[in-house]
Structures are given as structure tokens and as C-alpha cells.
Amino acid sequence: FSGPFTDVVTTNLKLRNPSDRKVCFKVKTTAPRRYCVRPNSGIIDPGSSVIVSVMLQPFDYDPNEKSKHKFMVQTTYAPPNISDMEAVWKEAKPDELMDSKLRCVFEMPNENDKLNDIDASKPTPVLNTAKQDGPMPKSHSVSLNDTETRKLVEECKRLQAEIMKLTDENRHLRDEGLRLRKVAHSDKSGSPTALALRDNGSNSLPSLLVVIAAIFIGFFLGKFIL
């Protein structure tokens, strides 16, 4: 049996009757769960032959494990009036039985054979006989992708510049807010002007943070697209 053994592997066994009488045959194996034999019994006419298919079921092959599976082909001359095959084998005497024993051999294909099979399965390349001068032009889809890529890079650069600008403005506003809070704390009279300035400074910070968060989200989406 030739591997790989990931699928059913079939080997044919040819039985020939060289005598001038009909012969009954029966095929036995030491591993009946691993093999499917068709036909596993029958009658061979004088001078005729029969093909027996032995199908090995898929299994995990281990090259270090020696095969102990064996087959035995048992034969006997058929009686003149045969009606029941089972009765023939039950009534046959030991000295009337003949048998041939076979040992199973598992072989994996060589690496060279694998390479040859792969090369044979590859389609033959078709050469373009038309002569082309100069480099091949880029396809429309490639140039379109390049254009989109440049636009995205420029957009990211613009967003980075805006982020830096807004960061500086945020720092300036934060310093201004701290200064206004100090003025508000130092102003014990609690004048309306100080309270208005403090409210304006505190309200400007959340709006600025929302703008910065939106720019960051756009920046990261640009990164993922690239």
C-alpha cells in the first residue's frame, strides 16, 4: 500500500485458477476493521482469474511502526453441486484446504516523487508572443490606489499639525484658566466681573477637549485605513 494514508488506498489482488476444476476461495485478514475486501469469497472457473480489491481505510501512519497486518487466501476444490458457500468451508477437511499468506507493506512516496507529481500537476505556462517595448504601464487600479494613499498621508500630516496647534492653544488656555482662578480667589469682594471670567475659562476647556478628541479619532481611523 502506497501512502499518504489520509484517504482510502486500494490494492488489487489477482487470483488465478491453474487447475481443471472449479476452486472456491476466501480472503481473511488479521485486521478486519482496517480493510474492506471485495469480493471476499467466490468461485473461480478452471483457467480463469478474479480480481480482489483490498481497500485500506485512512489512518495516522507512523514510519517507525512495523506493519503486523497479514492476509490469507484460502482455497479448496468446489464440490460438484454447490449451493451453500458457508457449508463448503464448514464441511471441508483440513487436508483439502490450501492457503497462501501475505504480509502488508506500507510505503510512503519519496520526496523526488512528490516533486515530480507537483510539477506534473502544474499547468503549462502560456508565453505571450506579442512584443512589448518599454516598461509595462501600471493599471488604472494601481494608480488610483497611489493617489488615495497620497491624499491620506497629506490628510494625516494636516491633522498632526492641527493637533500640535490645538495642544499649544490648550496649554495657553489652561494657563489662562489657572491665572483667572487665582484672580477669582484673590478677589475677596466677589465682583461679577471675576465670576464671569472664571465661568468663561471653565466652559472653554470642555469644548476644546471635544475638538481634540474628534481629531484624534480621525487620525486613528486614517492609520487603520493605511
pLDDT in tens, 147-204: 767 777 777 777 777 778 877 887 888 888 788 877 777 665 555 554 554 555 555 5
Task: From residue 34, give the alpha-carbon distance in Å to each of 58, 73, 175, 197.
Answer: 8, 17, 84, 91
pLDDT of residue 205: 55
Domain 9-103 has CATH 3.40.50.150: no
Classified as helix, coil or strand, 47 is coil
Provide the pLDDT for residue 17: 95
Q: What is the pLDDT of residues 34-65, one digit of tens each?
A: 999 999 999 999 999 999 999 999 988 888 77
Per-residue model confidence as pLDDT tens digits over 99-150: 999 999 998 877 555 445 555 555 545 444 444 445 554 444 444 456 767 7
Give long-range contacts, CB 8 A cutoff, 24+ apart: 151-158.
Answer: 152/222, 152/225, 152/226, 153/226, 155/222, 156/219, 156/222, 156/223, 156/226
Q: Which residue has the cell 500630516?
A: 157
d(CA 98, CA 31): 21
**Higher confidence at residue 183 or residue 5?**
5
Confidence category of residue 226, pLDDT binned at 50, 70, 90: low
Task: Determine the pLDDT at residue 138.
Answer: 47
Domain boundaries defined on the chain: 9-103, 150-183
Q: What's the first-to-final CA gap in the chain, in angstroms? A: 53
